[in-house]
Structure 1
């Protein structure tokens, strides 16, 4: 699992994440809900091993992330994929965008080199690329230029790119912000498929209804750490913390 223990992070004098602990198991979806500005993205960056917290401990599958040599740290980081709020695609075909992560890893993983055979001439995508595009409902767009996609389609390509190299954990930062219902539904279906494949997924969102739909467990982040973390139904139906109840009911305004 990924485990954060008593993690804190500040930017200057501003405390963004304060004494947060969280674990994410393979094959489960954890939703992190809370208003804007309470540290959801910072927490994801720590989980993605992009950011060293000021305090606390980060472990990935029982291994401490910090204090290891650079090769081991890079290998740990490559177990985690992240999809950001805004899609960032290259000026290339959909297939070339999705296979990018596979190409980056081509030099260190024999299994992924095998997946990439047949791509040298650029004639057809690898099986992993086709599979990832199938999950997000874009198999028919494989040869289409990325700059011709709609915003929702571009976000689905970003999701497929993260799935293609089969990470153990997938982190999503407001993955459906400003998307129409159809694209939102397709991404939520892809989250469920990732979970079914044994990938641990973390979805940070201000959309409480989305967390209720997709997450097995939910953590409520209100700026001073989690008020509580627990099974989704209990958090929404029977919260034990008064701040959680007020936030979910709309009484607590940020």
Structure 2
């Protein structure tokens, strides 16, 4: 299962942000998208999340072109993709209710939500999707707590759990640890590993190159409106094919 952008172009107010960008995200891998702030990482994730359509180029899901598909089919593709933004937006409700939001708006939400609630109160064996997701991010004990009482790092982990709860094929993360302390950063990174081990494809946009080295199977380097290099993490950092990549890693390219 692959989510892929091919020769994608996108801009704002006649200013190009992305020019002929090609990139794929595969199930069961972690892809880090690195590059300086303002280079278009968030825009690329929004295109992959199917929030925005490209000005030119193609976005395909499992080899099926998205934007020429019927609207109902596009909705099904979108439901298979989760996204976590840099700033978590939680409802004024319990952690459990925030995490089950995705279940409540999907086709099978009634059965899955009943299963999840029953597991919370101990009326059946097994665990529900929301509790599994909270377990993944290390916050199972926070299920009944008011989301407004969480720390910033805990709120980000709840947002991650909410995206995991409906079992997406692909999960897109936009700088999810940029404002977090080391403990919560480690919690998010551990959740990324667990998601990958469940067969989910994870793409994380980050300006933290050390983080990319720690958690990614592949790395894409976004510079100058384009992905200039994609490859195995060790190869990109140790022996990049493009000299601009080496200069960026060494801090010689200033944007």
Q: TM-score, normalised by structure 1?
A: 0.95
Is the Cα–Cα contact under 8 Å of residues 9 and 20 in structure 2 kept in the other structure? yes
Distance (Å, rounded) in 1 between the aligned partners of 2:186 and 2:5: 30
Is the Cα–Cα contact under 8 Å of residues 6 and 22 in structure 2 kept in the other structure? yes
What is the CA-CA distance between 1:69 and the residue it aligns to? 1.5
- The corresponding residue for 1:63 is 64
Is the Cα–Cα contact under 8 Å of residues 116 and 130 in structure 2 kept in the other structure? no
- The corresponding residue for 2:229 is 228
- The corresponding residue for 1:247 is 248
For the aligned residue pairs, the C-alpha RMSD in angstroms reads: 1.6
Please state whether the residue corresponding to 1:179 is helix, strand or coil: coil
Alignment CA distance shift 1:232-1:123 (3 Å): closer
Please state whether the residue corresponding to 2:246 is helix, strand or coil: helix
How many correspondences in the alignment?
A: 250
Distance (Å, rounded) in 2 between the aligned partners of 1:71 and 1:196: 30
Deviations 1:5-26 (A, max 9, x none): 1001011121101110011111
Alignment CA distance shift 1:118-1:135 (3 Å): closer
What is the CA-CA distance between 1:70 and the residue it aligns to? 1.3
What is the CA-CA distance between 1:223 and the residue it aligns to? 2.3
Distance (Å, rounded) in 2 between the aligned partners of 1:83 and 1:170: 8
Q: Is 1:166 aligned to residue 167 of structure 2?
A: yes
* Structure 1 residue runs without a partner (length 5+): none
Distance (Å, rounded) in 1 between the aligned partners of 2:152 and 2:37: 22
Q: Is 1:113 aligned to residue 110 of structure 2?
A: yes
Distance (Å, rounded) in 2 between the aligned partners of 1:119 and 1:235: 42
Is the Cα–Cα contact under 8 Å of residues 115 and 128 in structure 2 kept in the other structure? no
- The corresponding residue for 1:207 is 208
What is the CA-CA distance between 1:122 and the residue it aligns to? 11
For residues 66-215 of structure 1, the aligned pairs below 5 Å read 66-105=67-106, 108-109=107-108, 112-117=109-114, 124=121, 127-215=128-216
Deviations 1:180-209 (A, max 9, x none): 000000100000000000001000011111
Distance (Å, rounded) in 2 between the aligned partners of 1:68 and 1:165: 23
Detail structure 1 runs of 4+ shifted over 6 Å in the superposition: 119-123
Is the Cα–Cα contact under 8 Å of residues 39 and 223 in structure 1 kept in the other structure? no
Distance (Å, rounded) in 1 between the aligned partners of 2:147 and 2:130: 15
Alignment CA distance shift 1:16-1:139 (3 Å): same
What is the CA-CA distance between 1:127 and the residue it aligns to? 0.9
What is the CA-CA distance between 1:123 and the residue it aligns to? 7.0
